[in-house]
Structure 1
Amino acid sequence: MGFSDELSAIYRSLSSSSAAIDEKISRLQRAKSEIDQEQNISLQEIRKILEPELGSLWTGNRARSFDESRDEAHQIMQEIVDEDYDDYKQKIDFKIGLLKAERESLNFLGGLANEASQLLDKGEEAFDELGSRIDDLKRRIF
């Protein structure tokens, strides 16, 4: 396999990896958006758990038990909406950050591949350096 073929394989690998990372980032951003929407809907709906107000007309053990259960359900839902959704979004943001760093690494490797391509264009006097660059790129990518 010649240097040109090896560089082509490197460019294909970088392009494929970059496209896969972009797709993952896009899916994570969509998931975060859906979580935001669900959180907003839940915030609106959670208020309805405490409705209607029972007032002084509904008394006794059953009323107290129902009211306690309703308050507990409201508290649990409030924790989910306030904490769990935010935790999910933070985890997604962290993963997006990792993927963006990985994409930047691929961009750096793409720059190295471009330098190697320029050496290939120079011809025979640069073949030793080109071989060294391609070997370095293959170690980092494959």
Structure 2
Amino acid sequence: MDDDGPLGPRELRAWLAFLEAAHLVEHEVQRQLKRDGGLSHADFEVLLKLRTADGRRLRMSDLARQAMISKSRLSYQITQLERAGLVRRTACDGDRRSVWAELTGAGAEALARVRPGHRRVVRDNLITQLSPEELDTLGDALGRVAERLRDA
């Protein structure tokens, strides 16, 4: 296999199918989240990370790392979520350089409102289109890709 040459037919087919499916599923998720709760997918991910965190809060730097976005992008996003009353920033005791992002009650309610629709969209547009074996293969394969990129 020539790593510098053009993608072969099998490689190109897999790449283009991955791109198209990812974009189309993302589009459906975005539509549902916007319709059901006025949230972007990025907002949803941040709220979900906070919801599952110990004490429903994370240091901004940890949240940026977990959400895989830049600190400046996260700061802007948290400002928007803060204005909507869905999160709040608080100082970290003992570390004046760090700031917590904390899920508010309204943020938890917004997340609860959109989660059933989110699950439905993911199932309808991805999960039910694949056999259990294909789900396992997809999960294993994409998990390896993510692990390699995370480690890089």
Q: Same fold (TM over 0.5)?
A: no
Task: State which structure, 1 or 2, has the greater radius of gyration over its C-alpha atoms.
Answer: 1
Choose between structure 1 and 2 for higher RCO, CA contacts under 8 A separated by at least 6 residues.
1
Q: TM-score, normalised by structure 1?
A: 0.28
Q: TM-score, normalised by structure 2?
A: 0.27
Which structure has the highest strand share of the two? 2
